[in-house]
Amino acid sequence: MKKSVTATLLCTALLCGCMKKTPVSTQSVLCADCGFDTVILLQNIPSDQYAQAEEILRDEFLRYDAMFDIYNEHDGGIYQINAMAGKEPVKTATEVIDVLLKAKEYYTYTDGAFNAAMGSVLQIWHNAREAGLAANKEGKPGEIPDDTVLQEAAAHTGWDSIQIDEEAGTVFISDPDASLDLGGIAKGYAAGKAAQRLAEEGFEQCVLSAGGNVVMLGEKENGKPWRIGIQDPNGSGVLAAVEWTGSGAVVTSGDYERCYTGPDGTRYHHIIDPQTCMPADHCRSVTVCTEDAADADALSTALFVLSVQDGEALLEKWREDHPDSFVEAVWLLEEETDTKMHTTGIGGLHAYWTDGLEGKLDWNK
Ligand code: AMP
Ligand code: MG
């Protein structure tokens, strides 16, 4: 679950840059030990509410981290559900059930491109990445997982073995070789929930950022849009800022996160195409803007796996099915692609974006 803090810090830089005119009585809360292997940053908080905001962040993120952590044991969390696969149902929190139901919905919705029941395959890549990163540190290449092993694991990634009993509040994985990995949706969900709690407790104008998952609450007091950075996949800077007025979520999935270099010099990253069991390679990053952060998180991972054209079709369908909401996206690609979307060249890459973002992207040219 290791994610670089760069995205968070980039957002800081951008948001700081445009907060010069906000009253000096606001400040940021930085939480480096709130779980999810990332730095949580909350900006534009009234100074006299700093302690309260920090407590909310700690409370919310640590609680959700315990629920969704797959590497450390917590009572009733995903770790335990995975450990009990093939043995017995595990009583769990309603939030875990909520996220699982959403993840299952996205599995169907994306024709399997987003698959949180792919733990068996993702675990193999996780192990290869850990070993690969250690080898890279010594100047050696990492190894690519064996295809036969991956395909064997892929036989245990169907949702039919995930039994969610809403009434009993339990989850049972009937296939002992199957497991869950909610890494593609959990952080967005947690960020959305934390933002909701902040709103309930009276925080009306702030921005919460958790490893590439940004949630904006309310409008800035000077009427200017929030600016959320899109990281340069080839470097540590930003290529663009999404200028967003009002509440919403902006979530990015990219191939520059958690990756190692293999024997052929190729970078192997953490978003896996369920069809090939290999890292998806259509694009370098996808940024999704929606109302709900869990939706944005699941969609950005799904769009990263899909071709741009299939991704556009998915967004079209999503809009039809959610007429009261919105969804927009920006892709960064190595190669040009065939689409009618808005486009520009930037940082040696090709950017494409949907209509709703036209005029809302500040390219760092
Ligand atoms: P994100 O950074 O939100 O795109 O999520 C990436 C994380 O989601 C990975 O680290 C895995 O834990 C998980 N993941 C990787 N590939 C997939 C996929 N095809 N569907 C669902 N989750 C995935
Ligand atoms: Mg995601």
- Domain residue spans in the chain? 5-67+184-363, 75-173
Distances (CA, A) of 199 to 35, 95, 168, 203, 218: 21, 19, 31, 5, 9
Comparing CA positions, the residue from 173, 133, 117 lying closest to residue 4 is 133
CB atoms within 10 A of CB 24: 6
For residues 7 and 229, what is the distance between their CA atoms, to the nearest angstrom? Answer: 8
Check if CATH label 3.10.520.10 holds for domain 5-67+184-363.
yes
Question: Which pLDDT score is estimated for 18?
Answer: 45
Q: How far is the CA of 212 from the centre of ligand 2 (A)?
A: 9
- For position 5, what pLDDT does the model report? 43
CA of 304, nearest ligand number: 1
- Report residue 88 CA to chain centroid gap: 30
* Residue-level pLDDT at 365: 65
Gap from CA of 129 to ligand 1 centroid (Å): 14
Question: Tell me, what amino acid is at 345?
Answer: G
Q: 75-173, what's its fold?
A: T-fold (1.10.3980)
Which of 8, 129, 181 most suits a substitution to test ligand 1, by most atoms within 8 Å of the C-beta?
Answer: 181
Q: Which amino acid is at 70?
A: I
Nearest CA to ligand 1 atom 6: 184
What is residue 332's predicted lDDT score, i.e. its pLDDT? Answer: 98
Low-confidence ranges of the chain (pLDDT < 50): 1-9, 11-13, 16-22
Q: How far is CA 204 from CA 142, 200, 216, in A?
A: 47, 9, 10
Give the other-Cβ count within 10 Å of 131's Cβ.
14
Distance 48 CA to ligand 2 centre (A): 34
Question: Which tokens is 114 given?
Answer: 């987003």
Which atom of ligand 1 is the closest one to the Cα of 113? 19
* Distance of CA 270 from the midpoint of ligand 1 (Å): 7
